[in-house]
Amino acid sequence: MKTVNPDIEKLPEILNNLPAGVPVVMLNLLKFRDTAAYPKGSDAAPCSGRKAYERYSRVALNKVIEVGGRPIWAGQGLGSIIGPEDEKWDEAILVMYPSVDAFVSMLGMPEYQAATIHRTAALEDSRLIATREAAGF
């Protein structure tokens, strides 16, 4: 099932169930649209999905840093070794936040929220998976 945005009704419960006070790394899996799908009436110039995601990323990166987070790694998807045959990702990104609260704080920032129009327009499919360091690793 293709998904781009979180279920707003379920998001608070999901975030509340994540461990508090420990760093969290968000694994982003991204599949870009060929052409960004901006809503009617948007003043965004037409572009590729990748370009629309770059528009989002310029704001998002600043907000990640503002809450004490940082990007760890980003890379181009080359192919799935294990996974559904039809599930292909263009890019994977790891972003560390000092805590779930820092992540939630970023989500609430008006400038970040305004930039999500570009993320939604950019993506055909995505996953956002919260992780923390495994004990003993």
- pLDDT score, position 18: 84
Residue 84 maps to a domain: yes
Task: Look up the CATH number of the domain holding residue 86.
Answer: 3.30.70.100
pTM: 0.91
Residue 136 maps to a domain: no
Q: pLDDT by residue (tens digit) across 3-30?
A: 888 878 888 888 888 888 899 999 999 9
- pLDDT score, position 43: 93
Residue 5 maps to a domain: no
Domain count, the chain: 1
Token pair belonging to 2: 């293709």
Residue 78 maps to a domain: yes
- pLDDT score, position 25: 96
Residue 125 maps to a domain: yes
DSSP of 46-65, one letter per residue?
Answer: P--HHHHHHHHHHHHHHHHH
Residue 3 maps to a domain: no
User: At residue 39, does pLDDT exceed 90?
Assistant: yes
Domain that holds residue 111: 23-131
Instruction: Give the percent of the chain with pLDDT over 70.
Output: 99
